[in-house]
Amino acid sequence: MDNCFINLENVDLYYPSHIYNATTLKQEVFSMLKLQKKKEKLDNVHALRNFSLKVNEGEKLGIIGHNGAGKSTLLKTIAGVYPIKSGRIDVKGEIRSLFDLSLGFDLESTGRENIMYRGLLLGETPKAIRKQEQEIIDFAGLGEFIDYPIRSYSSGMLIRLAFAISTSIPGEILLLDEVIGAGDASFAVKAKERMTGLMSQAKILVLVSHDLNTIKEVCDRVILVKQGQIIKDGNPEEVIEFYKQTV
């Protein structure tokens, strides 16, 4: 198989303005009563601007920057979640992404049924999911609750199940939005061990995090993103120091 890679060339991505222009009923009423100014219409948000990036097999790339810089947007663009306006994206390799643990859950279905639903969303076959099912159940530690509707789960139980499903299948390209700590202290130890294993197995790792120590520890290359553009690209020490000086 050819080497894995991620290649973005001159990518432009916009968020539709209606996402930000949405007006609540309360705002409409207050506006009518002259108690609050009506929201002005905004232009579409230019989230990624003529963005180019190449990540080769073997690289562990960290992405840093202020909130709203475009870090998570970039991650979801690579994953194919957000459609681009112009430019080109080429990705070679099987992607596994951890940035929305609740994706694909049906609250009225049981934990066991949701293992199947989430697994299918991750691109697995029913046969492969059934093969992984018991390992997922054991890792989540839900016992008999696995056959209860997940609307009855506590937030900790739901996180444990979501994490167990999402990390049960390794990928060649691993996309992470923050390193996830899940559940109580005992489960967090298992979660950290599994995350370490996944990151070491991945042929390409792309990690978004505000934890600069984690970025420095895990990554061998870092990009600093600001207003949808790369303003610094290099080794972790150099880029992080530049970032600290500009904060």
- Tell me, letter by letter, the H, E, C secondary structure of 130-173: HHHHHHHHHHHCCHHHHHCEHHHCCHHHHHHHHHHHHCCCCCCE
Q: What is the pLDDT of residue 38?
A: 52
Q: What is the pLDDT of residue 7?
A: 98
Kindly report the average pLDDT of the chain as a whole number: 86
Confidence band (pLDDT; 50, 70, 90) for 242? very high
Q: What is the pLDDT of residue 23?
A: 46
Bigger pLDDT: 30 vs 175 = 175
pLDDT at 124 over 80: yes
pLDDT at 184 over 80: no
Interatomic CA distance for residues 180 and 163, integer angstroms = 9
Q: What is the pLDDT of residue 142?
A: 93
Bigger pLDDT: 81 vs 4 = 4
Q: What is the pLDDT of residue 133?
A: 96
pLDDT at 70 over 80: yes
DSSP letter assigned to residue 52? E
Each residue's pLDDT tens digit, 198-221: 888 899 999 999 999 999 999 999
Q: What is the pLDDT of residue 40?
A: 52
Confidence band (pLDDT; 50, 70, 90) for 236? very high
Q: What is the pLDDT of residue 5?
A: 97
Q: How many helices (H) and strands (E) does the chain have?
A: 9, 9
Q: What is the pLDDT of residue 156?
A: 86
Confidence band (pLDDT; 50, 70, 90) for 32? low
Interatomic CA distance for residues 236 and 213, integer angstroms = 10
CA 223 and chain centroid, separation: 17
pLDDT at 75 over 90: yes
For range 41-61, the mean pLDDT:
89
Amino acid (1-letter code) at residue 210:
H
pLDDT at 14 over 50: yes
Bigger pLDDT: 43 vs 224 = 224
pLDDT at 20 over 50: no
Q: What is the pLDDT of residue 30?
A: 53
Domains and CATH numbers, the chain: 5-93+207-246 (3.40.50.300), 111-202 (no CATH)
- Both structure tokens of 241: 């120091």
Confidence band (pLDDT; 50, 70, 90) for 22? very low
Confidence band (pLDDT; 50, 70, 90) for 98? confident
DSSP letter assigned to residue 36? S
